[in-house]
Copies of this chain bind each other. A is one copy, B any other.
Amino acid sequence: MEVCTKCANPKIIIKRKQSGQALCKNCFIENIQKKAIKTIKKENLIDKGDKILVALSGGKDSVATLDILNTFKERNIIDLCAVTVDEGIANYREDGIAIARKHTKRLGIEHKVVSFKDSFDTDLDEIMKVPNHRISCSYCGVFRRWIINRAARDFEADKIATGHNLDDEVQAILMNYLEGNIDNLKVIGAKTQSKSPLFRSKIKPLREIPEKEIGLYTIAKDLEIHLAGCPYAQKSFRGEISEIIKNLSKNHPTIMYSTLRGFDKIKIGLKKEYSNDFQFDSCIKCGEPSSNEICRVCTFLDELGKKVAIE
């Protein structure tokens, strides 16, 4: 009978195809936390005294990020706060917000919910009714990043932690390899920093943990998560790439790890050869950092006949 490779407990909850390692619940939880801590240390994601804002949707990735970073808060290494973005998607976002609220309340973490409606005087459900609208993910990504970065400044947070997992990271790498997009490849990594003082740097503590292991972590730790999929999600290039990686992983269980390791080596060369020398100015409309005169949020809002609604 198979037992836990670490403690010989016969109740195993995972057997890793790539290594043959079998783990019981407690050893798995410890293993995932150690993996995240290893990334945090190796990539120098956290400095003592940091205030870190978690971008908390209530889904498995952000809930696991909050849970793992909370172990640093409990040891008084960092301070935590959280923001949840309400895109205004009826019968979908409400549950995520409720779950995010429960977690932050339970852990005693400052938490704010910021809506598209309050920020931009419109929301995703409304936008999706506008004729000739862009695809939903375009608005959502651009608007969400704007809100989260601004929330980080409001909270006086030093960094923003996101729940990006190994699958997310490898998808982004492969998409940009295939598109030959060097500018995007240059900024993929455990930590993104910007030259603009208005930007807060972003960190990804779960970058080396596969999506399904993060799901299992939230189950093992009995963490409530928001499971529903976005009703506006549609077939995308990322979706195609995600399928390809999932299929390849069946016969090549270490392929996501080898892709990430290879990319991290490639990136060293990329950063030397293609230094990031473009300057950020402030958007003349909303004052947020932008590499163009008008930022993407204001460009999109313009198209919709709207403008930024908060100071």
- Which chain A residues have a beta carbon within 8 Å of chain B's beta carbons? 173-174, 176-182, 185, 237, 240, 244, 248, 251-252, 255, 258-263, 265-266, 268-274
Residue of B nearest to A261 (CB): B180
Contact yes or no, A180 B258, CB < 8 A: yes
Could you list 5 further interchain pairs (A-B, Cβ under 8 angstroms) beyond the known A178-B262, A179-B262, A269-B270?
A177-B263, A180-B261, A182-B266, A244-B248, A272-B273
Task: Report the minimum CB–CB distance from A216 to chain B (whole Å).
Answer: 24
Complex: A181 Cα to B237 Cα, angstroms: 25
CA distance A41 to B30 in the complex (A): 58
For the complex, give the distance between the alpha carbons of A237 and B251 in Å: 10
- B248 and A178 contacting across the interface, CB-CB below 8 Å: yes
Q: Which of B176, B179, B244, B262 contacts A181 (CB 8 A)?
A: B262
Rounded to whole Å, the gap between the CB of A274 and the closest CB of chain B is 7
Supposing A174-B177, A244-B244 touch, asked if A182 and B265 sit within 8 A by C-beta, the answer is yes
Copies of this subunit: 2
Cα A259 to Cα B178 in complex, Å, equals: 4
Contact of A258 among B178, B240, B266, B274 (CB under 8 A): B178
- Residue in A255, A263, A266 whose Cβ sees the most chain B Cβ within 10 Å: A266
27 residue pairs bridging A and B, Cβ less than 8 Å apart: A174-B177, A174-B178, A176-B262, A177-B177, A178-B252, A180-B258, A180-B259, A180-B262, A180-B265, A181-B262, A182-B265, A185-B262, A185-B266, A240-B251, A244-B244, A244-B248, A265-B273, A265-B274, A266-B270, A268-B269, A269-B269, A269-B270, A269-B271, A269-B272, A269-B273, A272-B272, A272-B273
On chain B, the residues within 8 Å of A263 by CB distance are: 177, 180
Is B262 a contact of A177 with CB atoms below 8 Å? yes
Contact of A179 among B240, B244, B251, B258 (CB under 8 A): B258
Give A248 to B174 CA distance when docked, in angstroms.
12
A181 to B255, CA, bound (A): 11
Which partner residue on chain B sits nearest A256 by CB separation? B178
A198 to B184 Cα, complex, angstroms: 41
Looking at the assembled complex, report how far the CB atom of A262 sits from the nearest CB atom of chain B, in whole angstroms.
3
Q: How far is the CA of A274 from the CA of B270 in the complex (A)?
A: 12
Taking the closest CB of chain B, its distance from the CB of A5, in whole angstroms, is 25
B-chain residues with CB within 8 Å of residue A259 when the two chains form the complex: 177-180
